[in-house]
Structure 1
Amino acid sequence: MLKIGILSLVMALCAIAQISAQGPILDRKGTASFFSEAPLENIEAINKEVLGAIDLNKGTLAVSMLIKGFHFDKSLMEEHFNENYLESEKFPKATFKGQIKNFADLDFSNSGSFEAEVSGEIEIHGVKKPLTTVVKFARTAATLTAATNFELSVAEFDIEIPSLVFQNIAEVVEVKALFNFSL
């Protein structure tokens, strides 16, 4: 009986060591969406092929997505978004790299939900800007989900909005992202 207990303890320690020794965990099917509320028309798009990575040893996060991965209800909106506003041929990706501020105080090994502030740098349309946001984490035995939402100013990323469509596109858009990491 004592041998079974010791064997179980050794196996548990090996599993914990293997989890903590692994590199970043990835989600290749994360989602990012944005919503623009404007006087004449609301605009919404979603990208379901966002790469997210989190390193549970260092407390770092990274996100990368292709701009052409955003899809709209109206194909003309999608075309204008890629050609006229985000210039996805010239600037094909958007990225974020950040650090969990209070990482040392968090316990990612136990199931439960908690929030953490993340600070880093976002790059859109070739422009890099600092970004701090709150990420909501939920941990189960098999998964770690991470969700966030924040606002971005279109003008800060040198995205020009012609005066003709000024009332169709908001100056500030709401961005949401969701990742499901397998453990």
Structure 2
Amino acid sequence: MKTRIITVLIALGTVGQALAQTPIVDHNGKASFFSEAPMENIEALNEKVLGAIDLDKGILAVSMLIKGFHFERSLMEEHFNENYLESDKYPKATFKGVISNFSELDFSKNGSFEAEADGEIEIHGVKKPLKTMVKFDVVGSKLAAATAFEIKVAEFDIEVPRLVIKNIAEVVEVKASFNFSL
């Protein structure tokens, strides 16, 4: 009788694990942005970006604290947080989406491939659709993912005072990269 109960418990545990796959997660992803403007280029890096991929369903998620972006000059960082992104009011930026051609991808084999991520980005409390290409590199039990895309500052209700309009580009290049263990 004890053997039968133990067998049933082991079987239930195995089925439960198979049905409740958790996503793979990187807590130390990187995101950067670059703004090329006539008066001055502005760039910042955030090295504490949370990225997750559900390899069973092809779902992607990214979340980062706005205050995690660091600049070369502290005054830029202060203006970014207080005047433009209002990081006390809108503390996070997120992306949630799916890999469009997920069924065609094989993450169990070494190699490099690209796929389109289709989802929704939220910055400064504004949600917008976003499609971006993601480059995946699989080497052994490691999966690297990287993307780059552009956003229009005005589309996210980020107001730039006329006095500094030439200091900030209308379009900002964003890059993100993650390293996962399979």
Change (3 A) 1:69 1:24: same
Distance in 1 (CA, whole Å) between partners of 2:20 and 2:49 is: 25
The residue correspondences of 1:77-88 to structure 2 (distance < 5 A) are 77-88=76-87
Structure 2 residue ranges without an equivalent (≥5): 1-16
Instruction: Give SS of 2:167's match.
Output: coil
State whether structure 2 residue 28 is matched by structure 1 residue 63: no
Change (3 A) 1:109 1:20: farther
Q: What is the aligned length?
A: 166
The CA RMSD over aligned residues, in Å, is 1.3
Quote the residue 2:167 is aligned against.
Answer: 168
The residue correspondences of 1:1-183 to structure 2 (distance < 5 A) are 22-183=21-182
Distance in 1 (CA, whole Å) between partners of 2:150 and 2:115 is: 17
TM-score, reference length from structure 1: 0.89
Distance in 2 (CA, whole Å) between partners of 1:20 and 1:55 is: 13
1:57 partner amino acid: D
% identity of equivalent residues: 75
Change (3 A) 1:147 1:53: same
Change (3 A) 1:76 1:154: same
TM-score, reference length from structure 2: 0.89
Distance in 1 (CA, whole Å) between partners of 2:159 and 2:170 is: 10
Is contact 1:115–1:136 with CA below 8 Å preserved after alignment?
yes
1:85 partner amino acid: Y
